[in-house]
Structure 1
Amino acid sequence: MARIGVKNLTIFPITKDDHEGTTYGTAVKLPPLMKVSLNAKTVEGSLYGDDRQVEGNFGITGYDITVDTTDLKPDQIAALLGHKKDSNGGITVNADDEAPYVAVAFESKRSDGDNQYVVLYKVKFSPLNEEFETKGENITYKTPSLAGKAIARESDGAFKYDVVAKTLPEGWYTTPQKAV
């Protein structure tokens, strides 16, 4: 089915991810979502014998994610990119800043009336690219775009979970959901 909308971008800071399990902090709802792009990163292998390919395999190594929102507040930028916010509300970008890993959840309306709910379990975003433009005869909005990489959780190797449903799965925006 075709997708006809996207909304409710929510992140969950990762507080622990090791062989014993993954735990997440409190959900943070981000400003209105404009677009999400997910591109699977894959590897492939081919086995040849008798002058032809006899085997082929593909695997997922992660996802590239790009998120476009209408705005990002300084505290949200600091939380996503590991920058420090001062008492004036300003952000200092430092060479030693380290973006934390977060889970990312959102939903998309489908043309059949259902919704697709998506969570990526472990994402790290790269620094923002910013663009500014003067106001001329027309107003051109410049909005933030975040690029990141989703990798497998240490605890179970999971990258992503999505489900198609008529109604919001219970707890979807409270904690990252997983297959049952």
Structure 2
Amino acid sequence: MYQTGLKNFHFAPLTSDDDTGTVYDTPSKLSEAVSASVEPNTATGRHFGDNEVVATASKLNYVTVNIDMTTLTAEDEALLLGKTLDDDGVLKEKGGKPPYGAFGFEVTMDDGSSEFWWLLKGKFQEPTRSQNTETDSIEFGTPSMSGEFIRRKSDKEWKFVGNESNTGFTSGGTWFDKVYEKPVGP
């Protein structure tokens, strides 16, 4: 199977993450997906002995996530950046603090199946936008956002990825109803 598409951006604010577990608000669907990149930052160490590498180790530091959407509504920006809307629906810039949250999306495959992702604990930063004047051709602008994701405190997980062919989750269905959690038990 090969990746051929991307859709269904979702964000669920994180309300608690401690030794007893993790709790999220209900996921909200964001504007249409254009692109997403997930770039882990790792540290690698090498142990030398007898003039050669005898061991190597690596660890995940954090994950940079870059997303482009068709649009960034005031509601989406408020959700992702912890801002509020005034009574007229205008985004208030003052006082917003980006919340930790889970970011989910769906990758479509060439065989018609899908792969589902949840990145479990991260914050997004102010968006980048670029606009151009109209010319004799049509150009669409897409807002871009970056975020950093880390491991959860509760279980040290940073992502869950499932494929509908072996998990039973369906496109746009149950995967995005809530942030996936591993079943508890043996």
Quote how far apart the aligned CAs of 1:51 are: 0.9
1:14 aligned onto 2:14:
yes
Uncovered stretches (5+) of structure 1, i.e. residues with no partner = none
CA distance in 2, matches of 1:69, 1:129: 11
Contact map agreement 1:43 1:61 (CA 8 A) in 2: yes
CA distance in 1, matches of 2:110, 2:56: 35
CA distance in 1, matches of 2:8, 2:154: 26
- Give the aligned residue type for 1:76: D
Normalising by structure 1, report the TM-score.
0.93
CA distance in 2, matches of 1:28, 1:119: 13
Q: Which residue of 1 aligns with 2:152?
A: 153
- Give the aligned residue type for 1:85: L
Q: Deviations over 1:37-77 (max 9, x none)?
A: 10111110100011111001122122111111111211110
CA distance in 1, matches of 2:174, 2:15: 19
Quote how far apart the aligned CAs of 1:106 are: 1.0
Q: Which residue of 2 aligns with 1:32?
A: 32
**SS where residue 67 of structure 2 aligns?**
strand
Contact map agreement 1:171 1:177 (CA 8 A) in 2: no
Percent of matched pairs sharing the same residue? 29
Q: Which residue of 2 aligns with 1:70?
A: 70
Q: Which residue of 2 aligns with 1:137?
A: 136
CA distance in 2, matches of 1:153, 1:41: 16
**SS where residue 172 of structure 1 aligns?**
helix
Quote how far apart the aligned CAs of 1:178 are: 3.0
Uncovered stretches (5+) of structure 2, i.e. residues with no partner = none
**SS where residue 131 of structure 1 aligns?**
coil
Q: Deviations over 1:115-173 (max 9, x none)?
A: 11111011200111121211111121111111101111111111001012235357311
**SS where residue 104 of structure 1 aligns?**
strand
Q: How many residues align?
A: 179
Runs of 4+ in structure 1 off by over 6 angstroms are none
What are the residue-to-residue correspondences of 1:98-177 with 2, within 5 Å? 98-166=97-165, 168-169=169-170, 171-177=174-180
**SS where residue 71 of structure 2 aligns?**
coil
- Give the aligned residue type for 1:106: F
